[in-house]
Structure 1
């Protein structure tokens, strides 16, 4: 646990350019951290969004993307009690410390200790656990960075799951499926969901709602800082707007329940997986998603 590991990672060095498979060093976990051996990962549109980003405070390179994955705990740092070496886990972008007022509340899935941030490194000390072979710092992404054979994640971002669920299906629970499934259960004409991240579409969704109880749920992240303008008369008539992150789920308590639903055949995950690729072919996954040819592409680590 106390030594750095050399492994392969798909490093993004410049916006919009192909990822480069290269050898890196992954430092041992510090206190409250977990080092995870990634078994498989997947590509999400959020990875694409930040990979293409060439300006602004979040355009940070070189970087290791990826935030949907499943892996096995390789080692843990001091104070980590809830997982141990060999556990099957999901590294999750959404934090769940279980200690703060928000995490203990049943009213939402926020975390007042860690919040929702886009910092490019570890959440507690704002440093990276990745280095290039020349000592160059490689930045994290959404506190997960799964496009690497090994990663280091804060324990607040780690969820232990049953080893009975197939790992490729479990991978989907770490972001995409969890984000959408709760909204699907409440669906119908009385709800509108904005998933792109454009203020104009958020307004269109709101204006399309039923008067009296129509609800607009915003899932997309507005990337341009455009303010949202809503007709107050329509609000007074009973329409409402809310945001939703990670489907409203609390990762550590709710994801294991979703895994159980899959095992009990109450949740279909198989249909989301349209392609499977080797880690060496990770750039093909980008091509497929950009061309609209895939829903989820499982990327298997070569180890």
Structure 2
């Protein structure tokens, strides 16, 4: 195979500084080096993680940067040594890599590849210490190993999953982050049982996917909790049987839920705040209840819980990317979509062009959008 060594000029949405609007600029994208893949991005979702990163609230990002991590595209070229994909292959970008070499990847029951924490992607560069993006002669940092707010991006081979070429890229791009995180939280992490009761805090993309997973697992009662009353209708479309407007509950939400529903088998926190994490944990049934933390909180915050709750049998756990092994499992999730098990189109409330990225983030912040997909075609 011959290796393309040409620089591509294309458009990208750059965050020059924290808390600033995205700026559409012409950039230079370097060719992929050994073990790397250059991908033509076809569609990308807008995720709250991107919004939080642009504000400097969650991840220790370096500016200027190209954000974005939930995308699907077509391999344009590959670097030396790449074996799993070739030019023309359809792929989904993966913020959580799967190197298949570290101690975590070798375990069947774990998915948090050490490359995610200790690899170069945590520093916003590739393995040689350099970014593959430049704009106006200035190096632009990369984001979570993906950087999908650009027409072309360079990723490591371990950050892409080859998928069925018949799958619509503008739909399956959602399998790069939010949907697997919520869906796997209920089906794979908690392993929700048929006939059980579940409660879900936060009805955004992740929470709705969590509800869908509970429904597909056969849960008999699924309680959705949110402060936005507009979420009730869409939550019920995904399988929510009961909706609670948290703003209407005068007493503690734990007391209210336990009095109204009794023992709740599974609770899922999909908001990312310490108060809702405590609520979800204390609502899980004594003796056997399982609470799964799914939402991402600011990294400097801590949660205080009483040891007696653990001694009395409540279980607390968390997950990243739905406990899925990204490279291996995302193609399987694509097939579940193709079979109709995961209706991705129901999550997409807005479709915009790449040029409308700032409008997309406004929709997200206004709470009227579940998932907005930017199309590059």
In angstroms, what is the RMSD of aligned CA positions?
1.8
Give the conservation status (yes or no) of the 8 Å contact 2:185–2:294. Answer: no
State the Cα distance separating 1:74 from its structure 2 match.
0.6
Match of 1:235 among 310, 315, 319: 310
Q: Does 1:284 align with 2:359?
A: yes
Q: CA deviation at 1:184?
A: 3.7
Partner secondary structure for residue 18 of structure 2: coil
Q: Distance in 2 between matches of 1:279 and 1:124?
A: 29
Larger Rg, first or second structure (1 or 2):
2
1:95 and 1:24 mapped to 2: Cα distance? 25
Q: Say which is worse superposed, 93-102 or 37-46, in terms of deviation.
A: 93-102
Q: Which moved more, 1:261-270 or 1:83-92?
A: 261-270
Rate the CA distance shift 1:57–1:72 in 2: closer, same or farther, 3 A. Answer: closer
2-side partners of 1:191 and 1:83: how far apart? 39
**Number of equivalenced pairs:** 300
Q: Which residue of the other structure, out of 234, 252, 272, is the alignment partner of 2:327?
A: 252
Moved beyond 6 Å, runs of 4+: none
Q: Indicate how the Cα distance of structure 1 residues 111 and 239 shifts in structure 2: closer, same or farther if over 3 A, else same.
A: same
2: CA distance, partners of 1:113 / 1:25: 26
Q: Separation in 1 of the partners of 2:45 and 2:344?
A: 13
Secondary structure at the residue paired with 1:173? Answer: helix
1:22 is aligned to 2:25: yes
Within the candidate set 199, 203, 207, 2:282 is matched to 207
Contact 1:26–1:129 (CA under 8 A) maintained in structure 2 = yes
List runs of 5+ in structure 1 lacking aligned partners.
none
**Distance change >3 Å, CA 258–CA 121, structure 1 → 2:** same
Residue aligning to 1:12: 15
Query: C-alpha displacement at 1:112, in angstroms?
Result: 3.1
**TM-score normalised to the size of structure 2?**
0.76
Which of the residues 65, 75, 78 maps onto 2:77?
75
Larger relative CO (CA 8 A, sep 6+): 1 or 2?
A: 1
**Residues of 1 paired with 2:285 and 2:128: CA distance?**
47
Q: Are residues 1:44 and 2:47 paired? A: yes
Equivalent residue for 1:93?
Answer: 95
* TM-superposed deviation, 1:120: 4.1
Q: 1:53 aligns to what?
A: 56
Alignment of 1:270-281 (within 5 A): 270-281=345-356
- Of 105, 112, 125, the match for 2:128: 125
| Equivalent pair of 1:114/1:123 in contact (CA under 8 Å) | no
Contact 1:72 1:85 in 2 (8 A): yes
> For residues 84-233 of structure 1, what are the structure 2 equivalents within 5 Å?
84-115=86-117, 119-132=122-135, 134-185=136-187, 186=192, 188=198, 189-223=264-298, 225-233=300-308
